[in-house]
Amino acid sequence: MSELIASKFPLSQKYMDFINSVRGVSADFLEGTTASGKTTVGAGIKFMRMVSASRKKLHVIAAKTTGKAEETIIQQDNGILDLHTNARYFGNGDKDYKLPHIKFEGKIIYVLGYDNKDKWEMVLGAQFGCVYIDEINTADIEFVREMSTRNDYLMATLNPDDPSLPVYKEFVNRSRPYQKYACDVPAEIMKELTEEPVPNWRYWFFTFRDNLSLTDEDIKRKMAAAPKGTKLYKNKILGLRGRATGLVFDLQKRNIITAEQAKAFTFVYFSAGLDTAYSQSSPDTIAFTFVGITADRKCVTLDEEVYNNRDRQVPLTPSDIPKIFTAFLEKNRRTWGFARDVYIDSADQATILECQKFGRLTGSIYNFIPAFKKTKIIDRIHLQSAWLAAGDFYILEHCKEYADELNIYSWKEDKAEPEDGNDHLINSCQYAWLPYRDKIGSVKID
């Protein structure tokens, strides 16, 4: 890295490792929060370094439009022209190359807008050394597919978006983080980086904290500018994927308590819920929750347990559930108290029948009951939101998976209903408290 670039702005150790990881890497995918420096460091430093090292003459930078590429990648402060004084940009092309392009160290970097199919189809006959795709989550997927087969090295940045977009399944989720930085990847995203991996495809997650040019005040100001509970906050500030326009629940720190705090309550009822998903090709889970209802009308989520068949060599089936669910119930009976009636997703008749058969054959002390689902999902959300706001709903601090779901569960953009995902523990917990809903809460909900 040149002294000029080093003098422009400070780099975190993660960014230095990213820039220097050039051997054995054929693709880099950069996801994360806004203002994390992905574009500046990705396009301006590492991509240009890869172009410089490439033996090929032709390369590509692609953004939604060529104007967007000029504004955010090429001509901005700390953009390519600012960082590389030997680079020249020809926005209208020249006599030799009709498309907009950058000339750099004898190389040609085409600048394309993936919104204009007529323009990018003009270069499809070529093979490129390096390809950079800005905000790949918004790109024409046909463009991404075409470009992915026409390069030696691909770099793509993206802001978290709808996880069902094909770009995730076909590209981003086939990359893997370096072990050193795997802990920086949010658990929700790490669960999705499980498509069949491509050797030498690397995943990087960057946040405000990785951009050393931001002060603490800068970060606070950016975080304050995005209202909590909105898609903007979820995607830009938390760096989490999600298709919805806003978060369903507003989980506060005061709703999270310790086991010692929970033991100060007087519990009068215990219950448990079970939601199932046996797929081996999705992040959906088999989810157990154990809850307690207190004498002063609080609902406390006391324990959770989660299984995912995608992570298992031998997948769980309905016949496996009674034994492990009973072990979960027994553990909590010894710790908290006896939940005689426990509730299973009424749509999963196979698991219900297996649990009931288990009860008959073993003389189980538990009643395995189909979940009461006459209360509509929107009404369940209304109840739980009111309890959270009033301080009538608590979660033990070790129930991190449940808290994570509450923090990303979102509304659909096109319908007034929540997304169908990130909800297995949410559903499981609802099954547990639904029979006791009239015994919870200090605020009456009509």
Q: Is residue 257 located within the same domain as residue 149? A: no
pLDDT of residue 1: 47
Instruction: Give the integer Cα–Cα distance in Å for 53 and 64.
Output: 26
Last residue of a domain, one of 161, 185, 214: 214
Q: Please check whether residue 43 lies inside any domain of the structure.
A: yes
Start-to-end CA distance of the chain, whole Å, equals 65
Q: Is residue 84 located within the same domain as residue 177? A: yes
**317: three-class secondary structure by DSSP:** coil
Q: Which residues pair with 294 in a beta bridge?
A: 267
pLDDT of residue 333: 98
Q: Has this prediction a pTM greater than 0.75?
A: no
Q: Residue 361, by phi and psi: left (phi above 0), alpha (psi -120 to 50) or beta?
A: alpha
What is the domain extent for residue 365?
253-439
Q: Which residues pair with 132 in a beta bridge?
A: 61, 155
Last residue of a domain, one of 184, 199, 214: 214
Q: Is residue 268 located within the same domain as residue 204? A: no
Q: Which residues pair with 30 in a beta bridge?
A: 157, 204
Q: Is residue 210 located within the same domain as residue 282? A: no
Q: Is residue 106 located within the same domain as residue 193? A: yes
Q: Residue 430, CB half-sphere, CA atoms under 13 Å: how many?
A: 23
pLDDT of residue 373: 87
pLDDT of residue 388: 94
Q: Please check whether residue 210 lies inside any domain of the structure.
A: yes
Report the candidate in 250, 193, 236 with the shortest Cα–Cα distance to residue 410.
Answer: 250
For position 134, which CATH number holds? 3.40.50.300
CA distances from 106 to 124, 129, 168, 335 (A): 21, 13, 34, 71
Q: Is residue 263 located within the same domain as residue 197? A: no
Report the candidate in 102, 103, 38 with the shortest Cα–Cα distance to residue 74.
Answer: 102
Q: Please check whether residue 232 lies inside any domain of the structure.
A: no
Q: Is residue 210 located within the same domain as residue 314? A: no
Q: What is the largest CA-CA distance in the chain?
A: 86
pLDDT of residue 244: 46
Q: How many domains are there within the chain? A: 2
Question: Starting from the edge strand earliest in sequence, which strands make up the sheet with 256-257, in order?
Answer: 256-257, 393-396, 299-307, 286-294, 267-275, 341-344, 367-370
pLDDT of residue 313: 85
Q: Which two tokens stand for residue 38?
A: 């992905």
Q: Is residue 148 located within the same domain as residue 296? A: no
Q: Is residue 295 located within the same domain as residue 366? A: yes
Q: Please check whether residue 235 lies inside any domain of the structure.
A: no
Instruction: Give the integer Cα–Cα distance in Å for 386 and 381.
Output: 8
Last residue of a domain, one of 192, 214, 236: 214
Q: Please check whether residue 241 lies inside any domain of the structure.
A: no
Q: Please check whether residue 191 lies inside any domain of the structure.
A: yes
Q: Which residues pair with 275 in a beta bridge?
A: 287
Instruction: Give the integer Cα–Cα distance in Å for 85 and 175.
Output: 33
What are the pLDDT tens digits along the chain (446 aa)? 444 455 567 899 999 999 999 999 999 999 998 889 999 999 999 999 999 999 999 999 999 999 999 999 999 988 999 999 999 999 999 999 999 999 999 999 999 999 888 878 888 888 999 999 999 999 999 999 999 999 999 999 998 887 878 899 999 999 999 999 999 998 888 888 999 999 999 999 999 999 998 888 888 888 887 766 566 677 778 887 765 456 788 888 899 999 999 999 999 999 999 999 888 766 678 999 999 999 999 999 999 999 988 778 899 999 999 999 999 999 999 999 999 999 999 999 999 999 999 999 999 999 999 999 889 999 999 999 999 999 999 999 999 999 988 877 888 766 778 877 778 999 999 999 999 999 999 866 55
Q: Is residue 176 located within the same domain as residue 281? A: no
Q: Please check whether residue 354 lies inside any domain of the structure.
A: yes
Which residues lie below 8 Å from residue 118, measured CB to CB, with a gap of 6+? none
Q: Which two tokens stand for residue 173?
A: 């989720």
pLDDT of residue 2: 47
For position 299, which CATH number holds? 3.30.420.280
Q: Is residue 297 located within the same domain as residue 202? A: no
Report the candidate in 283, 206, 236 with the shortest Cα–Cα distance to residue 28.
Answer: 206
DSSP string, 365-413: S-EEEE----S-HHHHHHHHHHHHHHT-EEEETT-HHHHHHHHH-BB-S
Compute the chain's Rg from CA coordinates.
26
Q: Please check whether residue 324 lies inside any domain of the structure.
A: yes
Q: Residue 187, by phi and psi: left (phi above 0), alpha (psi -120 to 50) or beta?
A: alpha
pLDDT of residue 8: 65
Q: Is residue 146 located within the same domain as residue 273? A: no
